[in-house]
Amino acid sequence: MGVFGGTFDPVHRGHIAVADALMRALPLSRIVFVPAARPPHRPVPLAAACHRLAMLRLALAGDPRFGIDETEYEREGPSYMVDTLAILRARYDRPLALILGADAFAGLPSWHRWRRILGLAHVIIVSRPGVDETLPEWVRPHLVSDPDELLNTDHGRALRFTVSARPESATALRKALAEAAAPEAWLPPGVSAYIEAHGLYRRSSRHDEA
């Protein structure tokens, strides 16, 4: 089962496109999105956790390949991925594959108990075409080239997966929303209307965690 973590501030079509490509190409039974309630390695999200979760529900509605796990909303303290993976392994009783963008993967050594992550799950490193993203030496013994090798054990493998570049990025989207200039095509159905209805991401607004 794929585990797609992030702040999703807000969720956009690029997130959905990555998940769709992974489901089509890799031996994943399902992908569970895990929104970070209190991300410890980045600034506080602009939208409150309740809004980010509501937008994610709208974006994924009706697609049985995708689900949402609220583990990081259910527990106190920082949203450490190593703790989340331990909970998910017990909850779902199946092998997991953590989905990380290449930039997030590069920062993995700064994460809490990061070396434990490959003891709990595989890692899928999502890269963009034409971008030279050199992987660190420590991961090379874990790398596999055949996706089916993820089925041979329940953790400890790393697979590099390249997806087509899309224009969406959460940073660019938040900037465009603040200027009331966000392209409708960047947002999944229902999310744009939700943002407008709740006045999210406007320059004059601040949306602290509820």
Strands 2-6 and 31-35: parallel
Instruction: Identify the three-state secondary structure at position 26.
Output: coil
How many other C-beta atoms lie within 10 A of the C-beta of residue 6?
Answer: 21
> Chain-centre distance of CA 81, in angstroms?
11
Q: What is the mean pLDDT of the chain?
A: 89
Q: What is the pLDDT of residue 209?
A: 40
Question: What six digits make up the tokens of 46?
Answer: 């602009």
126 with 99: CB under 8 angstroms? yes
pTM of the predicted model as reported, rounded to 2 decimal places: 0.90
7-65 pLDDT per residue, tens: 999 999 999 999 999 999 999 999 999 998 888 877 788 999 899 999 999 999 999 99
How does residue 131 score in pLDDT terms, banded at 50, 70 and 90?
low
65-121 pLDDT per residue, tens: 999 999 998 888 888 999 999 999 999 989 999 999 888 898 999 999 999 999 999
Beta strands in the chain (DSSP E): 2-6, 31-35, 66-68, 97-101, 122-127, 143-144, 158-162
144-198 pLDDT per residue, tens: 999 999 999 999 999 999 988 676 778 888 988 888 877 778 899 899 999 999 9
Please provide the size of the chain in residues.
210
Question: What six digits make up the tokens of 12?
Answer: 């956009």
